[in-house]
Chain A
Amino acid sequence: MKKTWIASAAAAVIAGALVAPAATAQEEQYFPLLVYRTGPYAANGAQLANGQIDYLKLVNAKGGVNGVMLKWEECETEYNTDAGVECYERLKGNGKVAAVSPFSTGITYALLEKVVADQNVLFSMGYGRTSAADGRVFPWVFNFPATYWSQATSIMKYIIEQEGGVENLNGKTIGLVHLDHPYGREPIPTLETLSKDMGFELLLYPVPTTSMSDQKSIWLDIRRAKPDWIMMWGWGAMNPTAIKEASLIRYPMDHFIGNWWAAAEVDVRGSGVPAEGYLGATFHDVGDAAPVFAEIKEKVVAAGNGTGPESEIGEVLYNRGIANAAFIVEAMHTAMAEFGNKALSGEEMQWGFEHLDITDERIAELGLTGVIPPTKVSCENHEGSPAIKLQRWDGSKWTIFTDWIPAMNDVVRPLVEADAAQYAQENGITPRTCE
């Protein structure tokens, strides 16, 4: 008897869960948040999620976006593609979706077609499929403020400057330590192209996802090959291990550059070594100087509503979470100027994203100075005008030490268009024209 009781209770709960999400209020914009707070990528994923949610909370605390309140739900993906797809399908029907940000290149690839069919915006901020920057083939995908290919060329520009000119690169070696995952493999074609053009040798060091914390062979190899520079496309538990191993073999940290996902506080702290001088790319400032942080502390955290620990406010990945949410909210503002102050449909959000023009003045007005870069998106170009800054770890915190380094658009854009064209051809897509 008891068993039946438990079974029927469980059945009722599950049935309730399947039916429950149907009821949603009319005037709310919905944020399906694909996050990961467990697993080997948790340290990074949690901060990103907390930043996003805190910003959404702040917007709500200030009365919403022109009166439209925001609503969000989290779903745990564990950075896993299958789970990410399931999460997207589970959440997408629960409201008027603002935009989807999976924070995983693998999930982004799996959603490329789905968002077209569902007419939702896929906002992969600085990750995902690089060629989605071609808005003619990928109208629903946005990857501003910069893509991996642009980032790779910007880092190359820094290296060229340090080496004293392109001609000095000839005969030099550059290593790429990367996660052996779609994310880590994205920059390879660009770097290969550059290596042909500039005459440096590119050494690839893949780190398998199943054993991210065992990189011994890679670093022994690096010690022998002695590449002049190392770039790192790492994520999750891979980063601290790499930083630790690099410091063990005494690799000069000022020649070791992490990309923007491999240069956060958690990465260096997790390594347990000082790692002074380690460099990282970024597209926003560090620290909590911008007015938005004071506002969050006052209106969200002081109200006992903070999502994560207060200490992480102002850290790299937290700020990037804020940037992600802020971009989407700003796209809402843009779309509302056209379509009126209401919860927006996917199509209207897409229009908003496509007509984003965030100037320095607008950023200052939003209190986001340094948190998001000025961005202008167009129908053709979903990447904006990519540029990065470099930051240095001084043993306790990150400091930005360069100005904006623009990407080599002349190199990247043709590659983007070629790749987008191949995608269009394989999938039978006729690129739209942008007039």
Chain B
Amino acid sequence: MNFVATYLLGPFGEMIAYPPGVLETVIAGLGNGFLYALVAIGFVIIFKSSSVFNFAQGAMVFFAALNFAAMLKLGVPWYLAGAFSLLVMVVLAFTVERVVLRPLVGQDGLSLFMATIGVSFFIEGFGEALWGGDPKLLKIGLPEDAIFTIDYPWGEALGLDIIIQESDLLAIGVGLVMVLGLYVFFQYSRVGRALRAVADDHTASMSIGIPLNQMWVVVWALSGFTAFVAATVWGTKIQIEPTVINLALKALPVLILGGLTSIPGAVIGGCIIGVSELMFETYWGQPLFGGATTEWFAFVLAAFFLLFRPQGLFGEKIIERV
């Protein structure tokens, strides 16, 4: 009984006792979730068309942010700096595809995965060698303050005292725009449709004249672009230093939940992970387990889901034949 009281009644009681707290946590969790999703989308774009599990996505986010921040530090106006780092990302993505992955075509997934970890090491070293290893600020005037609802007439009228970080709203907004933009791109543009064809069947798409090599370059450039966007949003929250790369790890459970091939899945997965890990940390982890449960919660949750759906929440059913 004691157990139930501590671990179930307590936390849920607290939620019921102070509902605005739940709202606050959910919004903050969504902000995190969309950030994870922005990284995860980069994974999905590449995995979908070339079955490469690109672990370097986190390092690419770091590299984009590093270029951007270093240019700003040199006094370059933000739009030029942004354009420059976007260009660098596209070039980098192109190079990785040409130099690393092209020679590895046909190898098993594990080798490709390991190669992208190698890329991740290289990018980290390369970025820091270029711009120095000290943490940098990436400030381009995006909103990063906090909104206290109680300061506003409507908040006061509702008696709602919660805090919403503008960077969370930004992440949510940018994430939605990204998903919408990518949807339109894949659905209506010529290249996008070609990419979907490639994703469905390599050989068939080649036979109808889709240049596979060019398509992969497009795909990598696209993931470089998403890395750049993720970096810009991330930069409003924190300094740019190598722990940003760990983001790539958090994107893994997101991918598992969302399925490796679905962009909306990545967003939904991101939201589930972002919200649930923050809720767990706030109501269980911090008061009952000594905190820092965000370290593992996402992974344990993903593992738990996998036990029931081994192909992920939105993944296609795996059919095995001998």
Q: Is there direct touching of A and B in the complex, by C-beta distance under 8 Å?
A: yes
Residues in A lying within 8 Å of B, measured CB to CB: 37-40, 42-43, 46, 180, 204-208, 210-214, 216-218, 220-221, 223-224, 237, 240-241, 244, 248-250, 270, 272
Q: Is the beta-carbon distance between B239 and A37 smaller than 8 angstroms?
A: no
**Which among B53-61, B180-188, B288-296 touches the partner chain?**
B288-296
B291:A204 contact, CB within 8 angstroms: yes
- A204 contacts B290, CB within 8 Å? yes
Mark interface residues in B10-35 (1 if CB within 8 Å of A CB, else 0): 00000000100100110010011000
Most buried by A among B165, B239, B294: B239
Closest chain B residue, CB of each to CB of A248: B146
Q: Mark B132-160, 1 if CB is under 8 A from A, else 0.
A: 01110101000001101000000000000
Contact check: which of A43, A207, A272 meets B139 at CB < 8 Å? A272
Residues of A within 8 A of B134 (CB): 42-43, 46
Chain A residues with CB under 8 A of B146: 248-250
The 8 A-B residue pairs with the shortest CB-CB distance, nearest first, are: A38-B133, A213-B238, A248-B146, A217-B281, A206-B292, A40-B241, A206-B291, A42-B133
Q: What number of B residues sit within 8 Å (CB to CB) of A?
A: 36
Can you list 25 A-B pairs, Cβ within 8 angstroms, ordered by A? A38-B133, A40-B242, A42-B241, A43-B134, A43-B135, A205-B286, A206-B290, A208-B295, A210-B243, A210-B295, A211-B295, A213-B238, A214-B294, A216-B32, A217-B294, A218-B291, A220-B278, A221-B286, A240-B238, A241-B238, A244-B238, A249-B146, A250-B148, A270-B137, A272-B139
- In contact, B165 and A237 (Cβ under 8 angstroms): no
Interface residues of B in 85-135 (CB under 8 A from A): 128, 133-135
Which chain B residues numbered 218 to 269 have a C-beta less than 8 Å away from chain A? 237-239, 241-244, 246
Partner pick for A213 among B24, B139, B237, B291, CB 8 A cutoff? B237
In the complex, what residues of A have CB within 8 A of residue B25's CB? 220
Interface residue? B163 (CB, 8 A): yes
Using known A-B contacts A216-B28, A220-B24, A248-B145, determine if residue A180 contacts B292 with beta carbons closer than 8 Å: yes
Q: Which residue on chain A has the smallest CB distance to residue B236?
A: A272
CA of A218 to CA of B291 in the docked complex: distance in angstroms?
A: 9
Give CA–CA (A250, B291) in the complex, Å. 22
Whole-angstrom CA separation of A249 from B164 in the bound complex? 9
How far apart are the CA atoms of A47 and B295 in the complex, in Å?
30
Contacts of B285 in A (CB 8 A): 217
Question: How many angstroms from the CA of A277 to the CA of B135 in the assembled complex?
Answer: 24
- Say yes or no: A220 contacts B292, CB within 8 Å: no
* In-complex Cβ contact of A270 among B21, B239, B294 (8 A): B239
A240 to B281, CA, bound (A): 22
Query: B50 at the A/B interface (Cβ < 8 Å)?
Result: no
Q: Known: A214-B32, A220-B25. Is A207-B292 also a contact (CB below 8 A)?
A: yes
Q: Is the CB of A211 within 8 A of B243?
A: yes
Known: A38-B133, A42-B134. A241 touches B239 (CB 8 A): yes
| Among B18, B145, B242, B286, residue most surrounded by chain A Cβ atoms (within 10 Å) | B286
Given A214-B294, A216-B278, A248-B146, 20 new contacts (CB under 8 A): A42-B135, A43-B135, A180-B292, A204-B290, A206-B292, A208-B292, A208-B295, A210-B243, A210-B295, A211-B246, A213-B238, A214-B238, A216-B32, A220-B25, A224-B18, A237-B239, A237-B241, A240-B239, A248-B165, A249-B163
Interface contact B135-A240, CB-CB below 8 Å: yes
**What CA separation (Å) do A221 and B14 show in the bound complex?**
13
- Chain B residues near A249: list those with CB within 8 A: 146, 163
Residues in A with CB closer than 8 Å to B281 are 217
B276 close to A (CB within 8 Å):
no
- Docked Cα-Cα span, A180 to B242, in Å, equals 18
Q: Which residue of B lies closest to A224 (CB)?
A: B21
Q: How far is the CA of A218 from the CA of B28 in the complex (A)?
A: 12
Cα of A41 to Cα of B163 in the assembled complex, Å = 30
Interface check B282, CB cutoff 8 A: yes
Residues of B within 8 A of A270 (CB): 135, 137, 239
Contacts of B239 in A (CB 8 A): 213, 237, 240-241, 270
Distance A221 CA – B241 CA, assembled complex (angstroms) = 25
State how many angstroms separate the Cβ of B276 from the closest Cβ of chain A: 12
Pair B244/A217 contact, Cβ less than 8 Å: no
In the complex formed, the residue of A with least CB distance to B145 is A248
Contacts of A211 in B (CB 8 A): 243, 246, 294-295
CB atoms of B28 and A39 under 8 A apart? no
B292→A39 contact, CB < 8 A: no
Say yes or no: B133 contacts A37, CB within 8 Å: yes
A214 to B33, CA, bound (A): 12
Q: How far is the CA of A43 from the CA of B128 in the complex (A)?
A: 13
Report the minimum CB–CB distance from A220 to chain B (whole Å).
Answer: 6
Q: Which of B31, B128, B135 has the most CB of A within 10 A?
A: B135
Residues of A within 8 A of B148 (CB): 250
**Nearest-Cβ distance from residue A224 to partner chain B, whole angstroms:** 6
> Could you say which of B32, B243, B290, B291 contacts A212, with CB atoms under 8 Å apart?
B243
Residues of A within 8 A of B294 (CB): 208, 211, 214, 217
Shortest Cβ distance from B86 into chain A, in angstroms?
23
Closest to B250 in A: A211
| Residue ID in chain A nearest B237 by CB atoms | A213
Q: How far is the CA of A223 from the CA of B281 in the complex (A)?
A: 15
- Chain A residues lying within 8 Å of B291, measured Cβ to Cβ, are 180, 204-206, 218
CB distance from B316 to the nearest CB of A (A): 32
Q: Which of B21, B148, B241 has the most CB of A within 10 A?
A: B241
Q: Known contacts A38-B133, A249-B163; is A213 also within 8 Å of B32 by CB?
A: no
Closest chain B residue to A217, Cβ basis: B281
- B243 and A213: CB pair below 8 A? yes
| Residue in B closest to A249 when the chains form the complex, CB atoms | B163
CB contact under 8 A between A217 and B135, given known A208-B292, A210-B295: no
Please report the C-alpha to C-alpha distance between residue A363 and residue B133 in the assembled complex, in whole angstroms.
35
Residues of the B chain whose Cβ atoms lie less than 8 Å from the Cβ of A38: 128, 133, 242
Kindly state the separation between the CA atoms of A244 and B165 in the bound complex, as whole angstroms. Answer: 12
**Smallest CB separation, A331 vs chain B (Å):** 31
Residue of A nearest to B280 (CB): A217
Residues of the B chain whose Cβ atoms lie less than 8 Å from the Cβ of A42: 133-135, 241
Given A205-B286, A206-B291, verify A217-B278 contact (CB < 8 Å). Answer: yes
B70 to chain A, nearest CB (A): 14
Closest chain A CB from B2 CB (angstroms) = 21
Query: For the complex, what is the distance from the CA of A206 to the CA of B24, rounded to whole Å?
Result: 21
Report the Cα distance A213→B239, complex, angstroms.
8
B residues less than 8 Å from A40 (CB atoms)? 135, 241-243
